[in-house]
Structure 1
Amino acid sequence: MNGRVQAQVMMSFLASEELSFRIPVELVYEPDDPYAVRFTFGLPGDEPVTWVFGRELLVDGVSRPAGEGDVHIAPVADEPLADLHIRLQVGPESALLRVSAPPLVAFLDRTDRVVPLGQEPACADIDAELDRILAGRP
């Protein structure tokens, strides 16, 4: 399926209350995996780190606190298109990032043109594909 969506945004990595630095983040949406978005963080001095999470989580997090488990997204303020906090949790460690909402909304708008939200393939299609792969059929 054609229609890969990519964007590059700058996020502030909030290392502590006194220290933050800006990092480039590549956002990728593949229509072959219509429920997911990939964020690849370019961390200074380290290999890039990729996180994959639900596109719907990102959509929800633009306007209200969203997320359970390892990823939480929430507006910083009550105004429309406020900056967002993205918290990524790995065991006891977490990373807090701050990003401007408009570039994320523009990215999500582009993904919606490729695969409209709510019109992703039905779960039955995924089950059939898994059955095919597990059975070793081409």
Structure 2
Amino acid sequence: MGGRNDRNDRDGRRDRKDGPAAGGTGADGPGADTTGGEVRQELTVDLVLAPDRSVPVPALLRYRAADPYAVHITFHLGQDSPVTWVFARDLLVEGIFRACGHGDVRIWPTRAAGRSLMCLALSSPAGDALIEAPTGAFASWLERSLQLVPAGREQESLDLDQALAALLAGH
């Protein structure tokens, strides 16, 4: 499983591999954190290896008001470097209710053994992965992100003057 170093593809999603983060626990419990302009949620997801076999993987969900259109999901795969996928928050919001996405990131809701799950199919040149995660943890975290920056008001969180200044300064 791995992310690409691309910034934007044609439907506005962003997916890239970037730096480390922490892994951990469940819904709004000890792994949840909302501070300043960021909403974080540690949880454990399942990496599906076969229809009847999966392994638990610590993950970190992160949303930043400074990057209001994107969600960051970091997977901690043992000794390897963490892998972070970044894509549109709207894609994840829609994926709670119905199948969506195409290409590198596809999301859909499902039920298994009486549990509501979200499936994330991730594809990159480094390989493909199918992730199953508890819908409740994603929904709770997304709700907190929408409280921080409501849908349709993302552009108000962007500091375009600062971004332009950084671009012109070569950062």
What's the TM-score bracket when you normalise by the shorter of the two chains?
0.7 to 0.9
Q: Which runs of 5+ in 2 are unaligned?
A: 1-35
Query: 1:114 aligned to 129, 144, 148, which one?
Result: 148
Mapped partners of 2:168, 2:78: distance in 1? 44
Give per-residue Cα distances to partners, 1:36-68, cap 9 Å, x unaligned: 111110112322111111111100000001112
CA RMSD, Structure 1 to Structure 2 (Å): 2.5
Q: Alpha-carbon deviation of 1:19?
A: 2.3
- Which is bigger in relative contact order (C-alpha 8 A, separation at least 6)? 2
The 1:96/1:60 distance shift into structure 2, 3 A limit, reads: same
The 1:51/1:92 distance shift into structure 2, 3 A limit, reads: closer
Mapped partners of 1:28, 1:54: distance in 2? 12
- Identity %, equivalent residues: 34
The answer on whether the counterparts of 2:72 and 2:86 sit within 8 Å (CA) in structure 1 is yes
1:56 aligns with 2:90: yes
Q: Which runs of 5+ in 1 are unaligned?
A: none
The answer on whether the counterparts of 2:47 and 2:56 sit within 8 Å (CA) in structure 1 is yes
TM-score, length-normalised on structure 1? 0.84
Q: Which residue of 2 aligns with 1:69?
A: 103
The 1:30/1:18 distance shift into structure 2, 3 A limit, reads: same
Higher helix share: 1
TM-score, length-normalised on structure 2? 0.69
Computing the radius of gyration from Cα coordinates, the structure with the larger value is 1
